[in-house]
Amino acid sequence: MEIDKLIIDLEEALVALLGKKYSELKPEIQKDIDDFLEKSKEKMKRWTLLLAETSITIEEFEWLLKSQKDILVLKALQSAGVSKVRLNTIKNSIIKTTFDIVLAALIKQ
């Protein structure tokens, strides 16, 4: 599995996910997503490889991804006045999208 390609695909999908609803903030959202992926990149690589090797279960992988939610800071959306409840929903969507993209990449393998 090409992890770097997976990260690029993930970045594109996350920006598209948020860019549709918040198109006026797309450049700022791009930066927030880049920051999140940069902070998570090594862990995500390690976890994805462990999942590919079946050293961890899908449920463990999902739990590990959810643990990254706290480092996901959506400054652009916070500045735009998006409520904390809505931000939490968006963060959950980002984690779910990440999970789905990684699983799809593993299935294609």
pLDDT tens readout for residues 35-80: 888 888 899 889 999 999 999 999 999 999 999 888 888 887 888 8
Check: CB of residue 56 under 8 Å from CB of residue 103.
Answer: no
Q: How many domains does the chain have?
A: 1
CA–CA separation, 85 vs 80, rounded Å?
A: 14
pLDDT tens readout for residues 11-24: 888 888 877 777 77
> Which domain covers residue 44, as residue numbers?
3-108
- Claim: this prediction has a pTM higher than 0.85: no
